[in-house]
Amino acid sequence: MGQIECKYFKAGKKCKFGDKCHFGHGKNQSSSSSSTPQTATSSPPLTSTSSPPQGTFNWVSKDISKGNLSYPLRAINQCDDQPLPEDFKFIEKSFPGDNVIPREIPLKCDCIGDCYDTNNMGQDNCSCFQKEKYYDDKGRLLHLNFTEIYECSPECNCSESCRGRVIQKGPQHPLELFKTKDKGWGVRAKVEIPARTYVCEYVGEIIGQEEAEKRGSEYDKKGLSYLFDLGGSNERTSIAELTIDATHFGNESRFINHSCDPNLTSFSAFIETIDERMPRIVFFSNKFIKINEELTFDYKYTIPLGHDASGNAPGDIKCNCGSKNCRKWLWKAG
């Protein structure tokens, strides 16, 4: 397959994947050494702070996570009778697919207590910070200009309450899946989410280049786009070595739609291992998010050079984000 301009995060670089290329940037890391997907078990749901659904609905699932989140992850369709896709299974953590071998390179500090506490020996010298601290006292990002976030690992000597542990505690803000009018399923907040707060992680099956290329072309034909390229690209080709495929195994993140004015920003996070090929892709709020506001991130598609966004070729997808600065197209054939 010839190389084409990638339409998502790799704008400006060459990508050999099919017409509908992948989300993707940053670097990569697997959070599980098992090659078996960890699908949700049937333990009882934990308490939720979200309110019951209002109005009528045509289809509802009380908790698609089946008790595996700190709140029931409801899915509600008030637009039509379509349920969530049956060939989609909720998983908590990414898992390596065939022939993907995670490199276990843990980060480890010898700090005592809280690495962020200036009164203990961690101070600014904690080896896990990789130059800088990431979080404030409330566990929110100090700013949004990071591209990578390093957290203390299970190997670290510091305490479990070390402030260098935020993402690893899991999402704390209840979300809900809902059917949108013109973008398929989407995700919305069921509580207010302050700016710079950890929201969720893009999880799925971690696959290699060849497999991603093969699946990418198949998915393109079916109009599916749930591939997220990880950062450690092959230097020769600039193609991601690894990709997260959330088509059949994933969590709420694979339902997050694109906006040209998004309220989430993605970061590459390193926790259990600092294998640059396998960051965890995590989303933080980049502004205050209201109750029932839809969560969005920028797929970062750029219209190929020489195309002025006029006309409508088969396979083009119009952007329905509704923002004032909407770029009009989510995907446009080059």
Ligand X SMILES: C[S@@+](CC[C@H](N)C(=O)[O-])C[C@H]1O[C@@H](n2cnc3c(N)ncnc32)[C@H](O)[C@@H]1O
Interface residues toward ligand X, by CB under 6 A: 183-186, 225-226, 254-255, 257-259, 317, 319-321, 330
Task: Look at residue 264 and give the partner it binds from ligand X, Zn ion, none, a contact being a CB closer than 5 to 8 Å depending on partner kind.
Answer: none
Q: How many CB atoms lie within 10 A of CB 244?
A: 32
Whether the CB-CB separation of 190 and 174 falls below 8 Å is answered with yes
How far is Cα 8 from Cα 329, in angstroms, rounded to an integer?
12
Torsional class of 66: left (φ above 0), alpha (ψ -120 to 50), beta (otherwise) = left
* Shortest reach from residue 333's CB to Zn ion, in Å: 17
What span, in angstroms and rounded, lies between the C-alpha atoms of 39 and 19?
31
Q: Give the ranges where the chain is alpha helix by DSSP (H).
A: 209-222
Q: Which does 196 bind (CB under 5 to 8 A by kind): ligand X, Zn ion, none?
A: none
Can you count the helices (H) and strands (E) in the chain? 1, 23
For residue 128, the minimal CB distance to Zn ion (Å) is: 3
257 binds, among Zn ion, ligand X, none (CB under 5 to 8 A by kind): ligand X
Which of 149, 194, 152, 146 lies closest to 173, judged by CA?
194
Region from 67-75, 149-157, 267-275, 285-293 binding Zn ion, contact rule CB under 5 A: 149-157
Binding Zn ion (rule: CB under 5 A), the pick from 69, 100, 156, 240 is: 156
Nearest to 177 by CA among 101, 324, 77, 266: 77
**Cα angle at 54 between 295 and 49, to 5 degrees?**
60
User: Least distance in Å: CB of 320 to ligand X?
Assistant: 4
Select from Zn ion, ligand X, none the partner in contact with residue 330, using the beta carbon and a kind-dependent cut-off of 5 to 8 Å: ligand X
Regarding 333 and contact with Zn ion (CB under 5 A), the answer is no
Which contiguous run of DSSP H or E holds residue 279? none
- For residue 299, the minimal CB distance to ligand X (Å) is 7
Report how far residue 127's alpha carbon sits from residue 19's, in angstroms, rounded to the nearest whole number.
42
Per CB under 5 A, does 242 bind Zn ion?
no
Q: Tell me the per-residue interface mask from 251 to 290 with Zn ion, x by CB under 5 A, - otherwise.
A: ---------x------------------------------
Question: Which listed residue (21, 115, 239, 271) binds Zn ion by CB under 5 A?
Answer: 115
Site residues for Zn ion per CB under 5 A: 109, 111, 115, 122, 126, 128, 152, 156, 158, 162, 164, 260, 319, 321, 326
